[in-house]
């Protein structure tokens, strides 16, 4: 269940019309990237339906949120944050004896650097300001409780729009008259993943702490901060997008900063990448109409962006590079797409020459002798190697879910495509004269093609008919 959370851009600040126009533009961009939502939640509804007031009373009773009576936070309701959550304790379990001297020195250096800052900083987070206004942290606490279904209150829901695939997109509302009785069940999640960058770790820690303080310890354990590092631009890409990359402080990348006016609109990026991909598509497919070129190029551009964003582990800074992302040869989305298109071409030619498709190839297997794939020859070894690697997809996906590290799927898919390309060149199907061997090879490629297509689909990448 996906949800897009909007801030205070509702009727109280911008007007419903302007707010909805902004959201509709955002949704259109996300659809281009094969991203779909089920629910829009509005911050204003959290306040109007008194979610925070309800949660605030609970938190005051626990004593974890209290009124500060002195100092610069006098008059504010604050929450003292624990030094470590359970997650961090397990992460930092390495004892002093287990640490190397270099690690100890590095830690000492960092501790000295932060010591002065920590002394000055309050160990308390303001939840309600002295003027009575609730901070967004407080609203997030109430919202997190709603997500798990432990708040004791719910939104009303209305239909926001019908999506291109026919599914209804719902929106929260504070108006009971607008409520749609037949809406799906929202909230009451078994696990909540908040996808926010690493700089929000402190605030996400407070959400877990608030849940635990209220006695919802299981929900606190299942409250996951799915953090990610900064997304930057390589110097070449920054220049290509029209930004001055001279003031980079010697860094190998250019930081994207809204405050500095250095930002990248998703639509602009997709359009530029589509134009570049279209040049290559038109060159390779002279018979394509302009519409076919554009459609294929956009599919390539989307796969380029999406694969690039997941091929790095979450703890790494991503320096986005247009040319690297669009490459047909490197570790890229287009490379994976082309590996599937190659397999599709094999079956298109088999259909033309022999009148058989992938289903017919699979159906023929039970009647084939197994000598061709059981004699220990190099080609049988490579064939089974490709099949076994393709069969690992379920295990890899399970690992990605268990570790919340999507890059393992990307790395697996790239390795599978490489293995197929090696097999494709060394053991061709169409040029093989032995009918039984040709069929076994085609069957292996049919299985590989299905698995790699599924892996691409999991990463939000579709496959063009031709490239």
pTM over 0.75: yes
Same domain, yes or no: 238 and 213? no
Our measurement of the distance from residue 321's CA atom to the centroid of its chain's CA atoms, rounded to an integer in Å, reads 18
Residue 423: closest CA among 396, 410, 442, 439? 442
- Asked if residues 38 and 169 have their Cβ atoms less than 8 Å apart, the reply is yes
Q: Which residues pair with 170 in a beta bridge?
A: 39, 159
**Rounded Cα gap, residues 134 and 448, in angstroms:** 54
Let me know if residue 412 belongs to a domain.
Answer: yes
Let me know if residue 170 belongs to a domain.
Answer: yes
* HSE-up (13 A, CA, CB side) for residue 328: 15
Let me know if residue 212 belongs to a domain.
Answer: yes
Let me know if residue 330 belongs to a domain.
Answer: no
The pLDDT of residue 256 is: 78
302, burial (CB in 10 Å: exposed 0-12, middle 13-18, buried 19+): buried
Same domain, yes or no: 268 and 306? yes
Q: Which domain holds residue 409?
A: 343-458
Q: How many CB atoms lie within 10 A of CB 106?
A: 12
The pLDDT of residue 121 is: 43
Q: Which of 275, 293, 325 is the last residue of a domain?
A: 325
Let me know if residue 200 belongs to a domain.
Answer: yes
Same domain, yes or no: 181 and 272? no
Let me know if residue 195 belongs to a domain.
Answer: yes
81, burial (CB in 10 Å: exposed 0-12, middle 13-18, buried 19+): middle
The pLDDT of residue 379 is: 84
Same domain, yes or no: 294 and 399? no
Domain holding 427: CATH number? 1.10.730.10
**Rounded Cα gap, residues 359 and 41, in angstroms:** 45
**3-class SS letters over the chain:** CCEEEECCCCCCCCCHHHHHHHHHHHHHHHHHCCCCCCEEEEHHHHHHCCHHHHHHHHHHHHCCEEECCCHHHCCCEEEECCCCCHHHHHHCCCCHHHCCHHHHHHHHHHHHHHHHHHHHCCCEEEEECCCCCECHHHHHHHHHHHHHCCCCCCCEEEEEEECCCCCEEEEEECCHHHCCCCCCCCCCCCCEEEECCHHHHHHHHHHHHHHHHCCCHHHHHCEEEECCCCEEECHHHHHHCCCCCCCCCCCCCEECECCCCECCCHHHHHHHHHHHHHHHHHHHCCCCCHHHHHHHHHHHHHHHHHHHHHCCCCCCCEEECHHHHHCCCCCCHHHHHHHHHHHHHHHHHHHHHHCCCHHHHHHHHHHCCCHHHHCCCHHHHHHHHHHHHHCCHHHHHHHHHHHCCCHHHHHHHHHHHHHHHHHHHHCCCCCCCCHHHHHHHHHHHHHHHHHHHHHHHHCCCCCCCCC
58: Cβ contacts below 8 Å, ≥ 6 apart: 214
Q: Which of 201, 226, 251 is the last residue of a domain?
A: 226
Number of domains the chain is built from: 3
Residue 208: closest CA among 198, 218, 199? 218
Q: Which residues pair with 67 in a beta bridge?
A: 77
Integer angstrom CA distances of residue 408 from 246, 284, 379, 389: 35, 32, 28, 14
Q: Which of 168, 196, 226 is the last residue of a domain?
A: 226
Same domain, yes or no: 383 and 452? yes
**3-class SS letters over 284-301:** HCCCCCHHHHHHHHHHHH
Same domain, yes or no: 450 and 309? no
29, burial (CB in 10 Å: exposed 0-12, middle 13-18, buried 19+): middle
Per-residue pLDDT of the chain (467 residues; tens, 9 = 90+): 456 555 544 445 556 678 888 899 999 999 999 999 999 999 889 999 999 999 999 999 988 899 999 999 999 999 987 755 444 433 333 334 444 555 445 545 544 444 444 433 447 889 999 999 999 889 999 999 999 999 999 999 999 999 998 999 999 999 999 999 999 999 999 999 999 988 888 889 999 999 999 999 999 999 999 999 888 899 999 888 888 766 556 788 888 776 666 678 899 999 999 999 999 999 999 999 999 999 999 999 999 999 999 999 998 999 999 999 999 999 999 999 999 999 999 999 999 999 999 999 999 999 998 887 876 677 889 999 999 999 999 999 999 999 999 999 999 999 999 999 999 999 999 999 999 999 999 999 999 999 999 999 999 999 999 99
Let me know if residue 332 belongs to a domain.
Answer: no
Q: How many CB atoms lie within 10 A of CB 452?
A: 24
Same domain, yes or no: 385 and 421? yes
Residue 413: closest CA among 400, 427, 431, 401? 400
Same domain, yes or no: 277 and 349? no
Please give the structure tokens belonging to residue 1. Answer: 């269940």
């Amino acid at each position: 269940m996906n949800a897009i959370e909007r801030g205070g851009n509702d009727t109280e600040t911008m007007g419903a019309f302007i707010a909805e126009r902004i959201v509709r533009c955002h949704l259109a961009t996300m659809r281009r990237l094969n991203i779909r939502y089920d629910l829009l939640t509005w911050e204003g509804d959290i306040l109007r339906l008194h979610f925070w007031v309800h949660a605030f009373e609970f938190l005051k009773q626990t004593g974890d949120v209290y009124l500060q009576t002195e100092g610069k936070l006098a008059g504010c309701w604050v929450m003292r944050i624990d030094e470590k959550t359970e997650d961090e304790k397990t992460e930092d379990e390495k004892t002093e004896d287990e640490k190397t001297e270099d690690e100890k020195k590095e830690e000492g250096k960092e501790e000295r650097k932060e010591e002065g800052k920590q002394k000055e900083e309050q160990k308390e987070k303001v939840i309600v300001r002295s003027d009575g206004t609730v901070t967004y942290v407080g609203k997030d606490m109430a919202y997190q409780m709603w997500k798990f279904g432990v708040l004791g209150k719910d939104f009303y829901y209305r239909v926001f729009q019908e999506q291109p695939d026919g599914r209804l997109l719902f929106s929260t509302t504070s108006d009971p008259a607008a409520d749609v009785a037949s809406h799906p069940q929202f909230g009451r999640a078994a696990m909540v993943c908040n996808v926010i960058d690493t700089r929000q770790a402190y605030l996400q820690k407070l959400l877990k702490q608030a849940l635990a303080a209220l006695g919802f310890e299981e929900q606190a354990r299942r409250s996951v901060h799915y953090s990610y590092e900064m997304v930057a631009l390589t110097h070449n890409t920054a220049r290509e997008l029209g930004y001055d990359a001279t003031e980079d402080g010697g860094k190998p990348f250019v930081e994207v900063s809204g405050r500095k006016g250095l930002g990248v609109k998703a639509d602009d990026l997709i359009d530029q990448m589509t134009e570049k991909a279209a040049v290559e598509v038109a060159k390779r497919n002279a018979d394509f109409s302009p519409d076919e070129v554009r459609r294929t190029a956009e599919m390539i551009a989307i796969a380029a962006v999406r694969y690039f964003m997941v091929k790095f582990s979450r703890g790494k800074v991503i320096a986005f590079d247009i040319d690297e992302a669009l490459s047909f040869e490197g570790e890229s989305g287009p490379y994976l797409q082309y590996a599937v298109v190659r397999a599709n071409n094999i079956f298109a030619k088999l259909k033309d020459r022999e009148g058989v498709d992938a289903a017919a190839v699979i159906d023929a297997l039970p009647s084939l002798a197994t000598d061709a794939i059981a004699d220990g020859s190099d080609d049988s070894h490579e064939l089974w190697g490709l099949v076994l690697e393709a069969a690992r997809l379920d295990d890899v996906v399970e690992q990605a879910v268990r570790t919340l590290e999507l890059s393992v799927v990307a790395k697996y898919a790239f390795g599978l495509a490489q293995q197929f390309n090696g097999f494709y060149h060394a053991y061709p199907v169409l040029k093989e004269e032995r009918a039984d061997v040709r069929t076994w090879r085609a069957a292996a490629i049919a299985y590989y093609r299905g698995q790699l297509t599924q892996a691409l689909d999991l990463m939000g990448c579709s496959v063009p008919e031709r490239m």
